[in-house]
A and B are shown apart, each in its own frame.
Chain A
Amino acid sequence: MASFYGYEPKSRLFLGTAQYPSPAILAEAVRLSGVDIVTVSLRRESGEGGAGQAFWSLIKELGVRVLPNTAGCHSVKEAVTTAHMAREVFGTDWIKLEVIGEDDTLQPDVVGLIEAAKILSDDGFSVFPYTTEDIVVGGRLLDAGCEVLMPWGAPIGSGRGLNNLYGLRTMRQHFPGTPLVVDAGIGLPSHAAQAMEIGYDAILLNTAVAKAGDPALMAQAFAMAITAGRQAFEAQPIEARDMAAPSTPVMGKAFLS
């Protein structure tokens, strides 16, 4: 199993905790899918004065590892402040770092991301950066102290799957020893399986499960697809070819015509 800052999760599915019909349904999804890392977004206003304490208590009751995130932050300063608040609230150095650069696509501001990653890494955080599949940016994030990269599959919440399969493959080949997580844009279990088949270490998703008609069932479906995709990767898939290759030996076949 891949190691994320020294932690080896049981499941390669990381689940976001927003937008579920209720915390009870979220808990059911976590339990039935066997997830053991969940992300939680923090809003400034919920952090101050502990007004969001009740929801965080429910998250803590899940008994899984929490990866707080800086969702919705648009500046380095905002992201850094939110990360510090998250460390205080959840007692963890882990932080999923999101610095949004564009509102329609929620595309990461990779310049701000690198800057914030450096500040937080220097401050002792274990940073999980939400980035694009750009390998130069990926290299800079590693230089900044990140030990995990989380490229998008497609824009957050869009459910479009792997928009740039070539780019994601290149990234995998370029960073063979770095844990890579496809974060965002996944809509279907088959999208997740595809990312695992090309060698990604884990999948982080939220909307595809939370907004499904039956979130717990969908979480299970994703968990199975991710296991299947990982096993396929480890089993070394065959290469596609242009012409048919009969699977039954033709040697010794009777010629009747």
Chain B
Amino acid sequence: MGVHVEIIGAGVVGLACAAELLDRGASVTLHERGAFAGAQACSWFAGGMLAPWCEGESAEEPVIRLGGEAADWWERHVDCVVRNGTLVLAPSRDRSELRRFGQRTSHFSELDGDAIARLEPDLAGRFSKGLFFEGEAHLDPRKALAGLTERVLAAGATIHFSSEVRASDLSGAVVLDCRGLSARDELADLRGVKGEMLLLRSRDLHLGRPVRLLHPRIPLYVVPRADGIFMVGATMIESADRGRISARSMLELLGGAYALHPSFGEAEVVEIGVDARPTFPDNLPRVIRRGRVIHINGLYRHGFLLSPAMARMAADAALDPARILENLHSGEFA
């Protein structure tokens, strides 16, 4: 009889931990407060970019290193991973942003206007310089959450939906707390960083890969999904508010999309998404062991990028109580 692990939270972290534990022969029970996987998780609104090198522009080394595991892991577990790379562009007046981005990152090639047009024909003539991160990937977060749910159920996991519990309510020998921002009741230095996103539908425009548009004030990205849907994201606001988008944010997101291509002006606004990302003061994730409870939290804007590595560490911790966990903390407040 293998180890049994109880997991609280079926957002991207909880589901990734469940899948990893099942891969390793453990049995798993999940408790999710929402009616389905992702229903109340901030991963529902994620961009789904598996872009460790691009993130290196502002994120610290562990994000790049651990994020490097993501694309392979996701490809092994769901069927919606697209490996088309990431395109980074800047309007000509913000060319210095592109240079800055290039100085802070690696694993890209520089493209001129013709090369950009070959990669993304619909952007022909619009940009004369860009960076192409060929090794990066992306996925559709909602499909990935559904795919992972199916997979863990098929592997014998039990998921209790609409079940809001805390670790103290559970009697299991090992409990993984993957509640995200709700775990603020036990992790005092967890804070929310608000993100707002839009889903637009355009039948006129086709993109093969996520495009990041650099701008000193509103760096934004557009991720293509099936059926003409584009995810436009995302703001970063020091706020735990999960409820509403401001007119200013909406203007910034739409203005950015329109600057990428004017045909977004005709797009249908399909959805407005708002949530707060669970974040520690160093913006890095943590696996914290407290007796039989293991917290996996603080994935910030890197839920899909880092949950494979965090699931690996969490499974190590869950299956081996003596395991010493890697300390990812950085700098002050650690």
Contact = CB atoms under 8 A, between A and B. Distances in A.
A22 interface: yes
Contacts of A51: 192, 194, 239-241
User: Is chain B's binding surface mostly helix, strand, loop or mixed?
Assistant: loop
A101 interface: no
Contacts of B238: 46, 52, 54-55
Contacts of A55: 191, 238-239
Interface stretch (B133-141, B163-171, B302-310, B326-334): B326-334
A58 B238 CA distance: 11
A22 B281 contact: yes
Given A28-B331, A43-B237, A23 B216 contact: no
Instruction: Tell me the dominant secondary structure on chain A's binding face.
Output: helix
Interface in A41-98: 43, 45-46, 49, 51-55, 58, 61
Which of B217, B244, B334 has the most chain A CB atoms closer than 10 A to its own CB?
Answer: B217
A39 B124 CA distance: 42
Given A55-B191, A213-B104, A24 B332 contact: yes
Nearest to A53: B240
Nearest to A158: B216
A8 B332 CA distance: 26
A111 interface: no
Interface string B23-61: 000000000000000000000000000000000001110
Contacts, number: 73
A169 interface: no
Interface residues of B, number: 28
A24 B237 contact: no
Contacts of B281: 22-24, 27, 58
B334 A24 contact: yes
Interface in B80-106: 100, 103-104
B297 interface: no
Contact of B59 (A21, A27, A28, A211): A21
A54 B240 contact: yes
A23 B244 CA distance: 24
Nearest to A44: B246
Nearest to B246: A45
Interface string B100-132: 100110000000000000000000000000000
Interface in B293-334: 330-334
A19 to B, nearest CB: 9
A54 B192 contact: yes
Nearest to A106: B217
Nearest to A41: B238
A61 B333 contact: yes
A31 B237 contact: no
A165 interface: no
B219 to A, nearest CB: 11
A21 B282 CA distance: 8
A74 to B, nearest CB: 10
A21 B237 contact: no
Contacts of B330: 22, 24-25
Nearest to A104: B93
A22 B193 CA distance: 11
B283 interface: yes
Nearest to A18: B238
B284 interface: yes
A30 to B, nearest CB: 8
B60 A22 contact: yes
A213 to B, nearest CB: 6
7 contacts: A21-B283, A22-B283, A23-B332, A52-B237, A52-B238, A54-B190, A55-B239
Given A22-B281, A54-B190, 12 more contacts: A21-B283, A24-B283, A25-B331, A27-B333, A43-B239, A45-B244, A45-B246, A46-B239, A46-B241, A51-B239, A54-B192, A213-B104
